[in-house]
Structure 1
Amino acid sequence: MSYVRCVRGLASGIEYSADVPMNLDPIDGRPVEMVLDIERLAAQRPHAGWYDPARRDLWRFGALMALDAADPDDARHIVALGEGHTPLLDYTSHPVAHRAGLDLRLKEEGKAHAGFGANPTQSFKDRGMAMVAAQARRLGLTKLAVPTQGNAGDSLVRYALAGGLSVVVAMPDDTPTPILGNVAAAAHRHPRQVILELVGPTIREAGALLKERYIPQGYFSVATFQEPGWRIEGKKSLGLELAE
């Protein structure tokens, strides 16, 4: 089961229902965060009863996530594509680390390694967008929008297609070709689900276009810091893996 207690304004501290889609805090226009009832989780699932180390993705953390993959009611919303559970590689022998006397270890979020998970678009953004797709499905949202300079758009498209969602991606026209190509190809193959808008010169114009043209059409924005804490809930799995 999910132990999400509420959505809370980061500045105002006001609590809202996590079952109602929202973007910014209506009180002050600032971001909101999801709040888990950790005390209740610890009492009901002691001795790491929430933990599923056999899973090779971020959902191994079960009820510590905003949706619990072990719960059938939560699991039916989850779009799992192997995201997370990436290796922590030892770079202590790197010349720079050696000269500085550092014990240097790096999370490998790009390349796949045997025995671990693998982010489908080779970006940590997949962690956040996996949670976005799952939460959107849970709340009955069908149309998502994101302004991006690259990876977030590519990732959202991947999860939207896998989860049966529609998406519009707005990005600057100088976005790196590989990422732009991925989204453009998806829009060509799935014109009913994926819309690509190219604007210039920055992500600011991309966001303005979505607000003016697509949000009034019922698209829900999952722009950075403008969605209800879903993306950070997925990305926090990086910290959990380091602790693990």
Structure 2
Amino acid sequence: MYFLLYWLNKHIFPNKSKGVRVEWIPLVEVLHNFDDVATGPFLLSHLYHLLFEMTRDEPFETNLNRPIWMIQTWLQWYFPEFQTANLEFPEGVAPARILAEAAPIDHSTFACFYFFRVCRIRSDLEWGASVLRRYPWFSDQVFQDASGEDATPFCREKFISCIQPRDLAWGVRGNRYDRGLEVYHPNFCSRQLGFRQAIPVPFFDSVHCGTSFRLPTPPEVTFRAARRSLDVMNQAARNSIILNFECASLFSSWWEDKWTRKYGGDLKETHDRIFN
């Protein structure tokens, strides 16, 4: 089992220190016991941290040998420009299966760089790809569709739970946030595509946000905060809303100003400076 831990650290989850991180022990135990394993929070949090490592410095660190396929799949779902041509997504089939089995398309770094630089507006069908569809069946084990009418209410409930806005709400007072931080976690994104995940996601302790380790018995105050956060989100979910998928003019102005001040105006020179 310890050799498996070493092998995972060396070939699957390498790190800059080239050390053996014990945070992968839960995965090692599952594999050692030949149990079924899904892409759970411990692996997806690693992908989330990878994106942070790639973009925190200048130039961007793109030469990281990590499993970023989940993020790539999620981008294909919301940005059809990155998809294989003529993909069809029938109702009742998890999009994850179709996207994962499709032949990948190569895109140059400059093409992607330019696309996200100028992207401002998505159509309703594109930006609301998960919200406007019927909930997908969840893939079971290796891209297998769930079946049976008994699973319908369960899948509907779990799918709705992962398309709601996600906030880490601390300092909630009644129905108002004194402080709040909106987050996108790959665990939620993956469930939008039909990957079955543990629900609810363990409440994160601030000391352990960077690793897969979680406190076995969170303090009582954590449970109270989580309960208040859940109550507020449930109340917000019952209010009717009108979906608007366009960037506001104020946001576009802010984005343009932030880009210009940080990277300069010329797109090609900025790309070459960051990626070369």
TM-score, normalization by structure 2: 0.24
Higher RCO (Cα < 8 Å, 6 or more apart):
2
Give the structure with the higher percent strand. Answer: 1
The structure that has the greater radius of gyration is 2
TM-score, normalization by structure 1: 0.26
